[in-house]
Amino acid sequence: MNVNVERAQLSDLDNLVRLERATFNYSCISRRSFKHLMSSATAYCWVARGGNRLLGYALVLTRKNSSVWRLYSIAVAPEARGKGIGQKLMDELISCARKSQAKALSLEVKSDNKAAISWYQDCGFETIDVLANYYDDSSDGLKMRFTFDPESP
């Protein structure tokens, strides 16, 4: 399957919301929030497409005067998992962050989401903090960080 990663367009909104609901059973991003974030100068959203199908997305938030980008959400369609799509999205956001001279990426993940934690570790993220009662269901989260090597291009 040929998969392309590109910046999301407002025309992707309905498919982003569908993917969000198919992926997460808690704290889903609303259509209104996606639209707001995609129109923001401090947010970046990439989508992975296979043909005319949206197979995944990654949403990153930045702040003025901060060199840390926050991976707010990343999702791959259930039927497309295990095919390297999440890695393509991660590679793209790391490349863009590096080009923008970010010093690090951060994210939060549910502490019981072992598969995601393992994958983030494989991508180079390290756990830097435990966030007690972080999620709506009172479950704990982990704060993870990917720090760019200043020596690498």
Per-residue confidence of the chain (153 residues) as pLDDT tens digits? 799 999 999 999 999 999 998 888 777 888 899 999 999 999 999 999 998 899 999 999 999 889 999 999 999 999 999 999 999 999 999 999 999 999 999 999 999 999 999 999 999 999 999 999 998 888 999 999 999 986 665
Residue 56 belongs to a domain: yes
Number of domains in the chain: 1
> CA end-to-end span of the chain, whole Å?
30
Note whether 31 and 13 are within 8 A (CB). yes
Residue 70 belongs to a domain: yes
pTM exceeding 0.75: yes
CA 56 to chain centre: 10
Residue 119 belongs to a domain: yes
Domain at 10, CATH number: 3.40.630.30
Name residues whose C-beta falls within 8 Å of residue 33's C-beta, 6 or more positions apart in sequence.
none
Residue 152 belongs to a domain: no
- In angstroms, the CA 58 to CA 6 distance is 10
Residues of the domain holding 44: 3-147
Question: Hey, CA dihedral for 76, 15, 23, 136, is it positive or negative?
Answer: positive
Residue 153 belongs to a domain: no
Residue 35 belongs to a domain: yes
